[in-house]
Amino acid sequence: MDRRESLKLIGSAAFAAAGGFLAPTLAQAQAPAADGPFKLPPLGYPFEALEPHIDAQTMMIHHDRHHAAYVNACNQIAKDVPALGTTPIEQTLTDAAYIPVQLQQQVKNNLGGHWNHSFFWELMKPGGAKEPSSELKSAIGGSWKDVDEFKERLNAAGVGRFGSGWAWLVVNKDKKLELISTANQDTPIPLGAKPVIGVDVWEHAYYLKYQNRRPDYLKAWWNTVNWDKASENFKKAMA
């Protein structure tokens, strides 16, 4: 074996050890069930369903590994703090005073991650409604020129989020639509805001397909949005 061949072999062994590029296959990719009060919600559609806008491998890693890790961490903390598992998630996100102070940041990160991603998967759907309800459309029209301008503003909020976080359309405490962005896995919940639309701008949400091009990801992402769900979120938030 010459040097080049042995390097090739080492390279492919390392590649295989790292899971290869498409291994494990999508069918084998189910994360082990988390043990505890928190459950990873099913995606609700196949990993490849949002292609070509979001690729299957990104969806698999994002749901089965990133979201699963937040769920597992919550279950781990709940072993020491059982009240975490029995308190409504939104209540803990609003007031985590009952959590020991040294665990509060971990709870904020992981419970926030669990809440944010659970919201995000439901907002996307292959073949979902392409237009907001007339109520949501007219509310958007009251704050922006039209839906297209609103999308550009939300994308700008996502591009403007330095590092990792989320961009949101929320109904604020005054029952008005507002664009905000949150850092890390912070949610809009402690602000008293009710999310209508939220988009993950962590690199793990887009890097495999879009690398550093967050604006291209955000533009493409709108093709996956299920406006029925956004409209339902808006209706509930205004009720």
Applying CB under 5 A, the residues found at the interface with Mn ion are: 200, 202
- Which residue, 69 or 191, has its beta carbon nearer to Mn ion? 69
Query: Minimum Å distance from CB 37 to Mn ion?
Result: 21
Query: Minimum Å distance from CB 180 to Mn ion?
Result: 17
Q: Following CA atoms 95, 99, 101, 102 in sequence, which dihedral angle do they give, to the nearest 10 degrees?
A: -130
Query: Minimum Å distance from CB 66 to Mn ion?
Result: 5
- Which residue, 142 or 163, has its beta carbon nearer to Mn ion? 163
Residue whose structure tokens are 């339902």 = 232
- Which residue, 120 or 150, has its beta carbon nearer to Mn ion? 120
Q: Under the phi-then-psi rule, with left for phi > 0, alpha for psi from -120 to 50, and beta for the rest, what region is 79? A: alpha
Query: Minimum Å distance from CB 201 to Mn ion?
Result: 9
Residue whose beta carbon is closest to Mn ion? 200
- Which residue, 31 or 81, has its beta carbon nearer to Mn ion? 31
CA separation for the pair 82, 89 (Å, rounded): 13
Cis peptide before 24 (omega within 30 of 0): yes
Query: Minimum Å distance from CB 166 to Mn ion?
Result: 8
Q: Which residues contact 239 (CB under 8 A, 6 or more apart)?
A: none
Q: Which residues contact 187 (CB under 8 A, 6 or more apart)?
A: 93, 112, 115, 116, 195
- Which residue, 11 or 160, has its beta carbon nearer to Mn ion? 160
